[in-house]
Structure 1
């Protein structure tokens, strides 16, 4: 074009710049902007914005700041919009210090940041848990005469709530109302959700009432938070009523609503009502998620309904909902506790073959299941395989196997495990000592029991109810003298 004697205008050059950025030719895009300046063109906000977007697209946050600084040196002062784009990109990339540094450079260059730029940096500070820095910046903007808006307050209130600083969050709500900045549904949702999670349901209900008074309409997040609060406080009927009320307000319950209610009913052993809710959500075309199915499986096991728990698991698989490690652990634990070790072993084997990352909880469940079913040797073999699998046994693992070995009168092996705990960790706890004390007493080895009692007391542990019960019975029938009771006490 230039060879033909035609001088490109800024629109043409911006179009070429846009093409370079989208064509992943970012170095050529940077060179083009430099060339534009040399040719006497004044890059406009679109020029800067296009190039900056291109730089962020290629994870070049620091280059975008360098570009702004270079433009200033060359006499092309970027606009407030350009600075806003750069700061937004830097904050999204997580480099909050760089954003703060650029904000200071703006001030040094007599460019006054607006509320949008301050909001971007404050939100970034909040997301990266720098709440005190966010509050300091909020105070600075107020001093400089930049009026905060509802977005500013929402970021700060949400962050303070996440940190459990309720009084500070409530203080900001009062402050914004006093300054006639109208709080919106996001403001109230942040506070309600935080109060609910902290167990402050009464405060959450008061905020909900305040919302209604101010004609701020609750949304799905508001209702879900309150329903969660009612369920955690076992106020299930009120939770159900609120879910029906939200429907009357054209706010349709989602998977989270139903999952929360189902969990609440199952926790209170009202499993049938939980199942009714599950059917209701299915009829409405909502597919349960992993949490929904896991909750139902656990609910049925708690109600000793092993068959229905397995049916829900199979339905979960047929609907393509992936079980989590928690789902599997609940299933294995339920099967083992209901005397269905063989079925648990089938699931356990599938988990291993499918590449599921098993945790120590999974192995503990299986070792306990094997020991309870009398297959202590299998439990011991699984225990011995843990280190080869790169899994470190915890105190529950050791206690489970010690209990299993003790039940089979394999006390030498149980004692070896105790020594191993003391040498390599984890350290024995009250259950470890009490299990072995009882086992040696039942085996008639008073000396070993006495030594274990002394060791247990030196570690700061005491006899539990089962140990006291056994010692008391043995005192009554003359198998022990009172010295044992004195040692325990």
Structure 2
């Protein structure tokens, strides 16, 4: 334990980024990816002495052992790089709207089409569904061309993203008539897209239709599709629907017994939705029905309790597992280690790591990533760097998931220079950043309003094979709005529509309100027309509604406490003018005290600085002073002295 606990010893940090990756190319320095040049590092204010001190703490970055997300088209002899680049250029040309214009441009290009080329293009432009569908239609008109299963499924996925489910079904029916499928994975894609769009009944109908096909009902694929249906509902927050549909199936087929995997899916769904009571009821039911539990079941329970902040309860399950003869492994330990690290209990997290090391299975790459993430979330980059060295010494090669932990910290802390330095070193070492890496970089730069760097990162993102998805474009639009670049924001919004991506309704509302506020009615009407041209939901994310409900509930609680303290009901607009000034001040004074009473327990729990606590003290005199300040302004005219 002592050897691991020593990692928690803190040392002064002079420059966070150089603690991590200034020396990563000292041992291996492969040629950089020639597709594009990495971002120039921002100018550093560090002295050479600081750089030398930081170099001593850095682990070298090993060569990546994974394949890039998209293969180099040159590696396939069936098509050329020129054809790949030509199609990519046409699909990214904003002057070519999807449809006849794009098809005509593809005809003029004289491309030699093949399944491998199309599969690479579909993987490259997975966030541009409308242009992909145009490409699919054009390819179908080429003489002798036959679609591969991968291209067909990618097209169904693209149509699902566009919410053009009628078109998706027409392609499926056409393929069924031609005896070419479709395969069960096609329906799995369709079900997940329905669930993502919140269309519960169509998802169920898609499953029930597929389960009646001879190719599916005669195999075990019917049960796999049923599990995918439940899993899709649970991941999109429709756990109750999944639970009710399971009960209906049990009633219709009394002899059928749900598998352990089905229960695990529901258990995970209740925990993901933060419905602790329902999850615990389901767990009790599983025990009463003697459902055979597995390490995955306990892993789901442990992860769920850790997600709810009940790490102690999760740790108690370890002994329950052993009583049932199930040996805990990394699946069970990883959530505990991550939760302890995220809570800042790094010594305890390292202790759990020590316990895992003595097991036969031992820690996995995910275990080390959990520790790195925990240290990064706690702001201890020295400790995270030491874990990095430790995992390399044990033979584990850090992946992009590992380094994304650092990017996440830099984005949260606004450490632009450190984040860009890390990005540069990854490129120089031969790593291929994924979309999530670019999301974190863009998020970091948007928070600091570095528009030029945001555009440069997005350009590199596209050059390295990552399509600009909804998340990235939404962050850019919000930044442009913040910087009052309304024409550019509308142009980006229009490009999303052109590519077949449905913008978030929250983004549309924010843009529309801002344009109206600035008197740009023409742009606001254009925006409204664009949004009306695509199927979309007018509901805001559940998180916003939940926060508003909590805020309203808290406000009502404060008003009730103020009423009890004063014996005076809250004033309406008329009462403000009829009350005496003394009576109104008394009510405001006690309202102020009630608000303080709500806030102070949280301050005492989280604040560790004694000076800040002193400043938060509230005597009755301070409350009176605060009450007087509250009535200055619009209430000032209520009383003429």
Band the TM-score falls in, shorter-chain normalisation: 0.5 to 0.7
1:31 corresponds to = none
Superposition RMSD in Å: 5.1
- Counterpart in 2 of 1:425? none
What is the Cα deviation at residue 220 of structure 1? 2.0
Q: Distance in 2 between matches of 1:335 and 1:277?
A: 26
**2:466 alignment partner, SS class:** coil
After alignment, is 377-386 or 224-233 more displaced? Answer: 377-386
- Give the whole-Å Cα distance in 1 for the aligned partners of 2:639 and 2:459: 55
- The counterpart of 1:292, out of the listed 434, 437, 440, is 437
Whole-angstrom CA distance in 2 between matches of 1:57 and 1:191: 45
Cα contact 1:236–1:265 (8 A) shared by 2: no
The CA deviation at 1:276 is 1.9
User: 1:282 — aligned with what?
Assistant: 427
Deviation at 1:221, TM superposition (A): 1.4
Distance 2:376 2:262 in 1: 37
- The secondary structure found in structure 2 opposite 1:323 is coil
> Displacement of 1:483 after TM fit?
4.0
1:376 maps to which residue? 520
Partner of 1:417: none
Please list the CA deviations of residues 289-347 of structure 1 after superposition, one character each: whole Å capped at 9, or x if unmatched: 22211221222233343211110011112223122322112112223334544443432
Alignment check: 8 A CA contact 2:342 2:377 kept:
no
Q: Does 1:334 align with 2:479?
A: yes
1:274 CA displacement: 0.9
Which residue, 208, 229, 246 being the options, matches 2:353? 208
Q: TM-score, normalised by structure 2?
A: 0.41
Quick check: 1:227 aligned with 2:377?
no
Query: Take 1:484 and 1:379, find their aligned partners in 2: how far apart are those partners?
Result: 40
Structure possessing the higher radius of gyration over alpha carbons? 1
CA distance in 2, matches of 1:96, 1:189: 30
Structure 2 CA distance, aligned partners of 1:369 and 1:481? 26
What CA distance in whole angstroms lies between the structure 2 residues aligned with 1:140 and 1:277? 52
Conservation of the 8 A alpha-carbon contact between 2:302 and 2:317? yes
**1:195–1:322: structure 2 CA closer, same or farther, 3 Å change rule?**
farther
Partner Cα separation in structure 2 for residue 86 and residue 363 of structure 1? 40
Relative contact order higher in (CA < 8 Å, ≥ 6 apart): 2
- The aligned runs of 1:53-452 (5 Å cut-off) are 58-60=215-217, 123=264, 126=267, 129=270, 131=279, 132-138=281-287, 141=290, 150=295, 153-154=298-299, 156-158=301-303, 161=306, 166-177=311-322, 181-193=326-338, 204-212=349-357, 214=359, 217-367=362-512, 370=515, 376-378=520-522, 380-382=524-526, 385=529, 388-389=532-533
Residue 409 of structure 2 aligns to a residue whose secondary structure is helix
User: SS in structure 1 opposite 2:521?
Assistant: helix
Change (3 A) 1:57 1:199: farther
Give distance in 2, aligned partners of 1:138 and 1:481. Answer: 62
Q: Distance in 2 between matches of 1:266 and 1:379?
A: 32
Task: Name the CA distance, whole Å, in 1 between partners of 2:264 and 2:511.
Answer: 46
Q: Residue deviations 1:400-442, cap 9 Å, x none?
A: xxxxxxxxxxxxxxxxxxxxxxxxxxxxx9xxxxxxxxxxxxx
Check 1:318–1:485 CA distance in 2 against 1; reply closer, same or farther (3 A cut): farther
Question: Deviation of residue 268 (structure 1)?
Answer: 0.8
Q: How many residues align?
A: 329
Cα shift at 1:358: 1.3
Q: How far apart, CA to CA, are the structure 2 residues paired with 1:160 and 1:250? A: 31
8 Å Cα contact 1:329/1:365 also seen in 2: no
Alpha carbons 2:412, 2:444 under 8 Å: kept: yes
Asked whether the equivalents of residues 337 and 370 of structure 2 are also in contact (C-alpha less than 8 Å), the reply is yes
Deviation at 1:272, TM superposition (A): 1.3
Supply the distance in 1 between the matched residues of 2:225 and 2:512 (Cα, whole angstroms). 51
- Summarize deviations over 1:191-230 as a string: whole Å, max 9, x none: 3345567787665444234323557532221122233333
Taking a change above 3 Å as real, the CA distance of residues 377 and 204 of structure 1, as seen in their structure-2 partners, is same
Matches of 1:394 and 1:124, distance apart in 2? 27
Q: 1:268 to 1:486 in 2, by over 3 A?
A: farther
Q: For the Cα contact (< 8 Å) 1:185–1:219, is it kept in 2?
A: yes
| Deviating more after overlay: 280-289 vs 155-164 | 155-164
Q: The residue matched to 2:362 in structure 1 has which SS?
A: coil
1:484 paired with 2:628, answer: no
Q: Is the 8 A contact 1:370 1:376 kept in 2?
A: yes
**1:125-173 Cα shifts (integer Å, max 9, x gaps):** 545657434444346549xxx8x66455445444555666645432221
Q: Any stretches of 5+ residues in structure 2 without a counterpart?
A: 1-179, 182-210, 231-244, 271-277, 541-551, 553-572, 578-583, 592-628
Distance apart, 1:359 and its partner CA: 1.8
Cα displacement string for residues 246-289 of structure 1 (whole angstroms, at most 9, x for unaligned residues):
22222122222222211211221211111122223323433222
Structure 2 SS opposite 1:267? helix
Alignment check: 8 A CA contact 1:227 1:257 kept = yes
TM-score w.r.t. length of structure 1 = 0.52
Gaps of 5+ in 1: 1-22, 25-53, 65-84, 108-116, 396-428, 430-449, 463-471
